[in-house]
Chains A and B, each alone.
Chain A
Amino acid sequence: MKLKMKKNDENGGNTILSVSPLKAITLHLICLLGLALAFCIPNHIYSLDLITHPSQTLRMISVFLAPVLILLYSHLRHDRTQCSYVKAVGRGLLALPAGAAVNALGATILGAPVGFEYFPKTFNWSLLMSLLTFVPAACVFGSSWTDWHRIFARTKASESTDYMISLPAHGAVIGAWFGAWPMPLDWESPWQEWPICVTYGAIAGYLVGLVTSLGCIIFCNRQQHLKEE
């Protein structure tokens, strides 16, 4: 699922806004909260379970998570001079299906089952994956080819927003990759079905990514402070 296909145009005047650790922590906490809520609400209110109703639950999670993430990350948009907040939200929304397509393609290539009965599962799963990987980047960078490259192809983060986007996204992808491992085992557990364990893996990876990015931001900030002193 390491498929990083980007649009091939280059623009974007960068007026980089550095994110203070406090703001980063708040953002991360809101992300976490949103994720937790997105998990709890379908479970408690609609009594949907990932294992019994995977596609409905995934859709519900996406529906609850999407506004949180898009609104949140649009605050961090890079090209503030040319891009209004609404525009950032809009491109986040646009990126959702595009990223879903890329994720679905990657998953299918890696062996996700194809068929009419699997289509809703794959579709909803890729929506969630798109939220975790592509949408934040689209909100922040828009269509800036160089930034996308820096984050996804070369994994070189230079400042705190980069960490906030790159690490959780990579975490989600790598987590999903590992999450696919139990699928061929013959434990006959219901959670071994596509895409349940892959989703669990992706979410776990995303959480790890969030925590790491938080750590990185705090660490970098301290370094910077030390340098300044």
Chain B
Amino acid sequence: MDSSSLTCKKLTVIAVLAVLIQVFGLALFVLGFFPVKPALSGFSGVESFYPPGADSAEFQNTTNLSDSQLKYLYQSALLPLKVMVFNLVKLQELSLVPPLFDRLILMVIDGLPAEFVLGKDGEPPPKPFQEAMPYTQSLLSKGRAIGYHAKAAPPTVTMPRLKAMVSGAVGGFLDVAFNFNTQALLDDNIIVQFLKVGWKLVMHGDDTWLKLFPGMFSRHDGVSSFFVKDTVQVDQNVSRHLVDELSRADWNLLILHYLGLDHVGHLGGRSSVLMAPKLREMDEVIKMIDLNSLPTNNNDQGRTLLLVVSDHGMTENGNHGGSSFEETDSLALFIGPTKFGSTSGTPNKANQVDLASTLALLFGVPIPKNNVGMLMPETFKSLTGQVSEYVLHRDDDYLRRKICGRVFGYPVPSASTSLVLKSDKINQARLIDQQLRLLELNSWQFLRLLEAQLPGLVCENFSCDNFRDDGSERTRGYSNLEETFCCLYMKASDLHRSWKSGEEKRSASGDNRHSVLMAYHNFLRTASEWLSHRATDKPVGQLIFGVAAMLVSCLILLSLLFLLGKQVFSEQNQQFSSANNDLSWWHLDEVFILVVIVIVVISMGSSSLVEEEQYIWHFMTSSLYLLSLRKVMQHIVTRTEQNTSATLGLKTNDYIQICSIFVILISGRFLRGWHQGGVNWTNLPDISKWLEQVGSTYIKLFQLVSVIILVNISLVSLMWSRRSKKNFMTVVSLMHLFPGWLVLHYITKYQDVAFSTGSYDATLMAQIIYVVLGFCSTAIVVAVPWCIPFQNRTVSVPEVQRKAWGLCFRDSAYVIGLSYVYYWSLLQLLLQQPVNSMPVLFLFLQVLACIWYSSGSNQHRRQWVEVAALYYMGMAGHFGLGNTNTLATIDVAGAFIGVLNHSTILSGVLMFIITYASPMLYLLSMVMYNSVKDTSSFIISEKGNIGSLLKRTLGFPCLVPLGLNSILLIAYTIVLLLMRNHLFVWSVFSPKFLYICATTVCVCVGVSVVASTMIYISLVLTYREKLHTHTD
């Protein structure tokens, strides 16, 4: 492309195209990287014991809890006992299968690879480990334990793995991200299901459980996994409760989460010398539980299942997080009070998500809604016979009494008397094969989930007459996928139905039963595979395409910048051909701008620097302005050395520049000190903590002072505008004063009550302020270009007219830009948390100082350097307002100011405004920046060509932020792709990526506001000029 052919129109079209490509690529990447799965909301209830699509009236009037009730339950774990007990009885009646166990001890050994206990590929486990766990090995060989290699899905990190275990779903990232502050598991899960039937839960161990299930454990002792070097105390803190807990009978679920083994791995890897002793310790715990608790089959405690699981494995040197076999090979070991039947000897394989459905079915509670795991058949196969025996021995009434008695000795609820009447029916129904019934329940749950994932799944539509299930059919295309699932399900249910109808001759139908089993297994396995892959598989093509699109747009933007820079440079060279030879020379600050971007890109690869990004931005911007200071000093010397005609004006200009640099640096340091920020050093003292300690009166004082100073500075700056009609400026000043007064009024009167019980007045006031701010800014933008007077109207010399046009252009841009910056800061003072009012003022000061600085530096600083510096300042200020790269610092409370009914979109917009206060402020300041640059030289030379004027004034302020942002975006996207198996991908890198995406949106919005404002101003002025010449 020839540089001279780069016209304004072309530039705009290509830039807009590049931005569109970028947004498109980003959308593709985000959708591919964070699969958004249509998950079912709410919690499973009685409906899970009916086939999907069955008449729901049947269970409408039962104790089906509404969602809000369940949320309430989540918070307080207080549900009327009557409801719970009734629920339990009802559920077990409906499930037609009595629970196989009554109590569960879930022992989680963090990071234990299944290989250590079960061996690998038919081989026994390594000898030292085998010898370290004699009791467990004896349980396995006796058949009292069934072991599984439970394959965990990446990321193999504790919290997502625990979630997968209890909910049966492979979590996406975005649903985690949108929970903002809470880490609590809000999806349906087995723990909530247990709580719903009135279980009492106890937890000792990793405090991740407490974060996931706040307030749900009646006793707990959380230990932190923070001190990785501690391998002994973490486990002793769990085991010390063991004797006491095992002697108690008041709990139904005891969770023991041992972290020591994971710590041993982190310190010394798999072959650490501490590994065998640690395994021995775990074996002792298993032995103790088994001897104390399991064989006691007495009635007040019930049958206890000990489930030993690990959340993930570990690599050879003890790390985890990725998806290698060593890391995903986690353990699931079921230890029952009696023999599990014939053991095959070879360890079974399953998925970690299978635990949720297996536990639900073992304990007779509904399967969690989003579960994608199928039941582990071996745990049931051996137990079915046992259960029938058990049922023959005990009647229903006994069961009910036992349950009611167990739940805090509550008497049999009167509501259940109706159930007794039905007991004949139940006894009959129990005759059906329980194993098939369990498979059926699991299938129904899958079918519900499949219906949500594949909206077109209506099984009646398919005729499966000539459907054959062989392996190849599973890999067929999408449209046939539905058919596959339907036909597999229909086949199984048909076989089941025919088997049930032929119940009388069942004795002879062992073979028949087997075929039903096989059909169900077929369906479950296929569906489970598909469902779990849908959540973890990343569409490689889509990701590559997205990255390629972003790369292309980044290259386009950069080449546009390069061409524009070259063109401007050559023009400047023509203008100052003799005077300034510094223009042909790369200056230190220009190099440094590029160094900053390189350093930021490199730092993205390190998780700790992503966490502590605020240090980088602050360090870099301060260094940049110190370099600028050095540069100003250089020019002072150059002048003093030349000394000849160094006018007073130029000298004061230098002092203004030095002062503004000091304002920038000092307020930047205050911003840095206001919030400690980051992750690792948040506990260190900072100004905001100190203010909060000192008390709210001081905070309020600071707030009022900030508003008053802000208003005053804006009025003074308005006066600084070169020349305008007096009446007009008075009106503009009033339009600045009035919203300022409103905000002041709001702060004094309403702020304290704004968050308590939705004060209507406060909300109304906030809404009024929004409207006034919106009206004033629109009015100023629309009116100012029409009202700024042209000077020298009488002179008809074109050059003078051009000059007048240019001055008018700059004046309008100045007033509009100042109003933008001022209104935005006012809005922030209203929305930001009270402690942030001073930082907003500092930001405003910094913006003005940057503008002053740029106004005096025409000769010796290139435009793109100044624009890039503004962008960097925006990023530094972003962190100065207390933002971090974790989602926890998003100010959710502020997002509800002035919002009456819960509107997600409005609150989201407000949240965005609060979070991106600083980058947006700096982008909006570009309008003002344009006004202070001395454009007269090329306005005159261009002879009325608006296009090239806009290109010169708008080109850099729009292209530089877009270009810088596109570099950061593409670099970080590639980093994220490379880090997809990193330990911190979900906790550090992904939240940062969301921030980068939001920054992209912010830059696009800001740039388009700036561009449209400038275009509007120049169009209006040209129109006025034309009108003027015509009237002449």
Contacts and interface: CB of A to CB of B under 8 A. Distances in A.
Interface of A: 1-4, 6, 10, 106, 108-111, 113-115, 146, 149, 153-154, 177, 180, 183-187
Given A3-B629, A109-B665, A110-B626, 5 more contacts: A1-B626, A109-B666, A113-B684, A114-B673, A154-B637
Nearest to A154: B634
Interface string B636-653: 010011000000000000
Contacts of B633: 4, 6, 149, 153
A177 B623 contact: yes
A186 B622 contact: no
A177 B684 CA distance: 23
B615 A184 contact: yes
Contacts of A149: 633-634, 637
B630 A109 contact: no
Contacts of B618: 111
Contact of A185 (B608, B619, B622, B669): B608
Contacts of B673: 114
Interface of B: 606, 608-609, 611-612, 615-616, 618-619, 622-623, 626-627, 629-630, 633-634, 637, 640-641, 665-666, 668-669, 672-673, 678, 680, 684-685
B666 A153 contact: no
B637 A115 contact: no
Contacts of B684: 113
Given A154-B634, A186-B611, A2 B623 contact: yes
Given A111-B669, A115-B685, A149-B633, A3 B609 contact: no
Given A4-B633, A106-B626, A186-B680, A111 B641 contact: no
B591 to A, nearest CB: 13
B373 to A, nearest CB: 36
B679 to A, nearest CB: 8
SS of A interface (majority): loop
Given A153-B637, A154-B637, A184-B616, A111 B629 contact: no
B626 A109 contact: yes
SS of B interface (majority): helix
Contacts of A177: 623
Nearest to B687: A114
Contacts of B640: 10
B672 A111 contact: yes
Contacts of A115: 685
B669 A153 contact: no
Contacts of B634: 149, 153-154
A184 B685 CA distance: 16
Nearest to A180: B619
Nearest to A2: B626
Given A2-B626, A2-B627, A185-B606, A146 B641 contact: yes
A180 B619 CA distance: 9
Contacts of B626: 1-3, 106, 109-110
Contacts, number: 63
B627 A184 contact: no
Given A3-B626, A4-B630, A4-B633, A110 B619 contact: yes
A106 B114 CA distance: 56
A109 B662 CA distance: 10
Q: Which of B606, B616, B623, B641 has the most CB of A within 10 A?
A: B623
A146 B622 CA distance: 26
A153 B630 contact: yes
Contacts of A153: 630, 633-634, 637
Contacts of A2: 623, 626-627, 629-630
A108 B626 CA distance: 12
Contact of B609 (A6, A109, A184): A184
A111 B614 CA distance: 11
Contacts of B685: 115
Contact of B622 (A4, A6, A111): A111
B698 to A, nearest CB: 19
A186 B226 CA distance: 13
A61 B665 CA distance: 30
Contact of B619 (A106, A111, A114, A186): A111
A35 to B, nearest CB: 26
Nearest to B628: A2
B623 A110 contact: yes
B408 to A, nearest CB: 47
Contact of B608 (A111, A113, A146, A186): A186
A154 B666 CA distance: 25
Nearest to B631: A153
A153 B636 CA distance: 10
Given A2-B627, A4-B633, A110-B623, A184 B608 contact: yes
B683 to A, nearest CB: 14
25 contacts: A2-B623, A2-B626, A2-B630, A4-B630, A10-B640, A108-B669, A109-B622, A109-B626, A109-B665, A109-B669, A110-B622, A111-B615, A111-B622, A146-B641, A149-B633, A149-B634, A149-B637, A153-B630, A154-B634, A177-B623, A184-B609, A184-B612, A186-B612, A186-B680, A187-B608
Contacts of B611: 186
Contacts of B668: 109
B719 to A, nearest CB: 31
A154 B588 CA distance: 11
Q: Which of B609, B627, B637 has the most CB of A within 10 A?
A: B637
B813 to A, nearest CB: 31
Contacts of A10: 640
A185 B629 CA distance: 29
A1 B669 CA distance: 14
B615 A183 contact: yes
Given A4-B630, A115-B685, A153-B634, A184 B622 contact: no
Contacts of A154: 634, 637
B614 to A, nearest CB: 9
A127 B616 CA distance: 26
A187 B680 CA distance: 11
A110 B622 CA distance: 6
Contacts of A111: 615, 618-619, 622, 669, 672
A6 B669 CA distance: 22
Nearest to A115: B685
Top 10 closest A-B pairs, CB basis? A184-B612, A186-B608, A184-B615, A153-B633, A149-B637, A2-B626, A153-B634, A109-B665, A110-B622, A186-B680
A61 to B, nearest CB: 25
A185 B609 contact: yes
Nearest to B666: A109
A183 B609 CA distance: 10
Nearest to B685: A115
A173 to B, nearest CB: 10
Contacts of A146: 637, 641
A130 B331 CA distance: 62
Q: Which of B622, B666, B678, B684 has the most CB of A within 10 A?
A: B622
Nearest to B680: A186
A1 B623 CA distance: 7
Contacts of A114: 673
Contacts of A4: 629-630, 633
B873 to A, nearest CB: 14
A51 B266 CA distance: 27
Nearest to B635: A153
Q: Which of A1, A6, A184, A185 has the most CB of B within 10 A?
A: A184
Contacts of A187: 608
Nearest to A106: B626
Contacts of A108: 669
Contacts of B609: 184-185
A154 B631 CA distance: 8
A106 B661 CA distance: 13
Nearest to B611: A186
Contacts of A3: 626, 629
A163 B419 CA distance: 99
B620 to A, nearest CB: 10
A187 B609 CA distance: 11
Contacts of B666: 109
